[in-house]
Chain A
Amino acid sequence: MKKRQIFLFIFSSIFSLSFSYSQSENVLSDSLIDKNKIFNISKLRFGLDLSNPINSSSKNDKFSYEIVADLQLTDNFYLATEFGSIDKVIEDENIDFNSVGDYIKIGFDYNMFNNWVGMDNSIYIGLRYAFSDFSNKVLGYTVRNSDSYFSNFVNTNFENVNHNNLNGSWIEIVTGIKVETFNNIYLGISLRLNKLLSTKSPENFDNLFIPGFNKVTDDNTWGSGFNYTLTYSIPIGKKR
């Protein structure tokens, strides 16, 4: 129920925005050039996160990736989305587990940077709604015990099970930079502050990691993340 409301909020805000623009367009002018200036769908960018594959290969994990895309709606507004797949072994203080799952994030970016003529860089803030389906498999753990006569490590039987069908949804506040390094190729970095909305936890374990959201701490619904992207812009309108 919550998810739906948030989706509605995001989409309605985007659409109301574009609607208000198209209204003003009718009032202000009727020429084609001005129309392009006001409602400027001229860019569709696709890209790949570079931090995830580098991270996963350096730690001998299975391949993880994130695809990013954004569509320019007006001069400064972009519809933005990310899709990712994570397969990662997390070695926590007491518990080692393998987190496998996919996530999708959808929202918008707002560019706050005024470019010089002929440049196309951006410093932006944005908002995302994100959802993840995942599983967490416990690989081994150390039982809390004040007595250490015996080994307290457990890596077979007991709670070493795969917790399936878990999910989580959250909101991300995004801030980042995109710089056009070559013609139509952009390098970008973004930081994300995540606020967990809802999560389905397993029995006798907790969601300590959610793909896309990253680490979940005790009694805390805040998280953080970042990505480092390489994107290619497909010009679909007239380039300014």
Chain B
Amino acid sequence: MVYINILILTILNLMIKRYNVILFLVFLIFAACEKDDICIEGSDNTKRISIEFIDYINRQPKSIDLDSIRSVEVDSILEGISGTNLKLPLMVNTNKTKYLLEYNKTIDTLVIFHQTIHKYLNRSCGYIANFIIKSDTEISKNSGWIKEVSIENDSIFNEEKTNIFIHF
């Protein structure tokens, strides 16, 4: 009890004398206002693979109406798409991503082999993934609505450029 009194007295004494009370205040401010690390909205982010559908014969972009897309690993179905372009996420913690593409009630399996590189940004954003598509990316033909797969750009650094063509 005596010692608590001493402490209170000494602190009071300090406040009156204004010795280092300012220092204490500075510390309190620092302790209270620890900087929050928030990843800025426009920071670099993990990109998706960009797929374009082209006609097998004349090699021109051709619109498609897929029934469903889903991966082998995840049960939930990505929405069916219509159009010539498709953007799909790749798995960041492995070097292979498999997708089941359903068209006209037949399912083909697209196997994308990729080199995954994790790049450190900062504390608030952590790591992002960069991908390089490998040439052994293929279609395992079950029923075969896809005729061919060709790689256009092997590195995924933006989502504007087409990475692979699917010929059908």
Q: Does A183 contact B (CB under 8 A)?
A: no
Q: Is there contact, CB below 8 Å, between A94 and B27?
A: no
B109 on the interface (CB 8 Å rule)?
no
With A154-B118, A158-B116, A158-B118 as contacts: A206 and B123 at CB distance below 8 Å = yes
Per-residue CB contact flags for chain A residues 25-42 toward chain B (1 = under 8 Å, else 0) read: 000000000000000000
Residues of chain A contacted by B76 (CB below 8 angstroms): 149
Given contact pairs A158-B116, A159-B120, A150 touches B91 in the complex (Cβ within 8 A): yes
What 0/1 readout, one digit per residue, does chain B (96-124) give for beta carbons within 8 Å of chain A?
A: 01000000000000000000101111111
- B 122-150 binary contact with A (CB < 8 Å = 1; else 0): 11111111000000000000000000000
Which A residues touch B13, using CB under 8 A? 113
Provide the main secondary structure of the chain A interface: loop
Answer whether A150 and B92 are a contact pair too, CB < 8 Å, given A112-B19, A145-B45, A159-B127: yes
A58 to B: closest C-beta gap in Å? 20
Q: How large is the interface on A (under 10, 10 to 19, 20 to 34, 35 or more residues)?
A: 35 or more
A142 to B90, CA, bound (A): 14
A94 touches B126 (CB 8 A): yes
Are B129 and A145 in contact, with the CB atoms below 8 A?
A: yes
B interface residues with partner A (beta carbon < 8 Å): 3, 6-7, 10, 13-14, 19-20, 23-24, 26-27, 30-31, 34-35, 37, 39, 43-46, 48, 71, 73-74, 76, 78, 89-93, 97, 116, 118-129
User: Interface residues, chain A, CB within 8 Å of chain B?
Assistant: 92-95, 112-113, 119, 121, 123, 125, 141-147, 149-154, 156-159, 173, 175, 177, 179, 181, 187, 191, 193, 204-206, 208, 215-218, 220, 222, 224
